[in-house]
Chain A
Amino acid sequence: MDYINFILDKFVDFWTYTGFANGELGNYIMILVGALFIFLAITKDWEPLLLIPIGLGIILGNIPFKAIGLEIGLYEDHSVLNFFYQGVKSGWYPPLIFLGIGAMTDFTALIANPKLLLVGASAQFGIYAAYMVALLLGFEPNQAAGIAIIGGADGPTAIFLSSKLAPNLMGAIAVCAYSYMALVPLIQRPIMRALTTDKERRIRMKPAREVTQREKILFPIIGLLITAFVVPSGLPLLGVLFFGNLLRESTKTTRLANTAGSALNDIVVMLLGLTVGCSTQASEFLTTDTIKIFALGASAFVIATASGVLFVKFFNLFLPEGRKINPLIGNAGVSAVPMAARISHEQGLKYDPKNYLIMHAMGPNVAGVIGSAVAAGVLLGFLS
Chain B
Amino acid sequence: MNKRIIGLFIALCAVVCLHAQGTRSLKISEVVTCNTDGLIDEYGRRGAWIEITNTSWGTVNIHSCYLTINRAALNPALSVPERISLMSMVPKGDARTVLKAQERIVFYADGQTNLGTLHTNFALDASQENFIALYDGNGVSIIDTITVPVIGENQSFARLFAENKDEADTWLILDKEDVTPGSPNRGQAEKVNKVAEWKAKDPYGIAMSIVAMGIVFGCLLFLYIFFRSFGKFMEYSGKLARVKAIRKIHESAVKVAVIAKDGKESRGIDMETYMAVIGMALHEYETDVHDVESNILTIMPEEHTEWNSKDNAMREWPK
Q: How far is the CA of A129 from the CA of B206 in the complex (A)?
A: 9
Contact check, B198 vs A370: say whether CB atoms are below 8 A apart. Answer: no
Chain A, Cβ-Cβ closest to B228: A114
Bound complex: CA of A365 vs CA of B277, how far in Å?
49
B 198-221 to A, binary, CB cutoff 8 A, 1 in contact else 0: 110011111011011101111111
Cβ-based interface call for B254 (8 A): no
Query: What's the nearest-Cβ distance from chain B to residue A127, in Å?
Result: 8
Establish whether residues A135 and B204, one from each chain, have CB atoms under 8 Å apart when the complex forms: yes
Complex: how many Å from CA A219 to CA B224? 11
Supposing A128-B208, A222-B226 touch, asked if A230 and B219 sit within 8 A by C-beta, the answer is: yes
Complex CA–CA separation, A324 to B194 (angstroms): 43
Give the dominant DSSP class at B's interface: helix
Q: How far is the CB of B177 from chain A (nearest CB, A)?
A: 33
A124 near B231: Cβ-Cβ < 8 Å: no
Q: Indicate whether B162 reaches chain A with its CB closer than 8 angstroms.
A: no
Grouping DSSP codes into helix (H, G, I), strand (E, B) and loop, the A interface class, with mixed when no group exceeds half, is helix
Shortest distance between the CB of B288 and any CB in chain A (Å):
12
| Residue A227 lies at the interface, judged by CB distance under 8 Å to chain B | yes
Interface residues on B, range: 20 to 34
> Which residue of chain B has its CB nearest to the CB of A124?
B216
Given contacts A118-B224, A121-B216, A141-B208, contact A383 B195 (CB under 8 A): yes
Partner of A382, one of B212, B218, B222, B230: B212
Q: Which residues on the A side are within 8 Å of B215 (C-beta)?
A: 230-231, 374, 378
Would you call A118 and B221 a contact (CB within 8 A)?
yes
Task: Among A127, A140, A218, A230, find the residue whose CB has the most chain B CB atoms closer than 10 A.
Answer: A230
In the complex the two chains form, what is the Cα distance from A218 to B226 in whole Å? 11
Binary interface encoding of chain A residues 99-112 relative to chain B, with 1 for a CB under 8 A from any of its CBs, else 0: 00000000000111
Contact with B along A109-153 (1 / 0, CB 8 A): 011101101101110110111011011100011101000000000
A5: Cβ under 8 A from any B Cβ: no
A209 at the interface (CB under 8 A from B): yes
A135, B228: Cα distance in complex, Å: 38
Q: Please state if A367 and B220 are interface contacts (CB–CB under 8 Å).
A: yes
Q: Does B227 contact A (CB under 8 A)?
A: yes
Beyond A122-B217, A131-B209, 5 additional contacts (C-beta under 8 Å) are: A118-B221, A142-B195, A227-B223, A374-B216, A378-B216
Q: List the interface of chain B (C-beta within 8 A of A).
A: 194-195, 198-199, 202-206, 208-209, 211-213, 215-224, 226-228, 230-231, 234-235
A-B contact pairs, 26 of them (CB 8 A): A112-B231, A117-B220, A121-B220, A124-B213, A124-B216, A125-B209, A125-B213, A128-B212, A129-B209, A135-B205, A140-B199, A141-B195, A141-B199, A144-B205, A215-B234, A222-B226, A226-B222, A226-B226, A231-B215, A371-B216, A374-B216, A374-B219, A378-B212, A378-B216, A383-B194, A384-B194
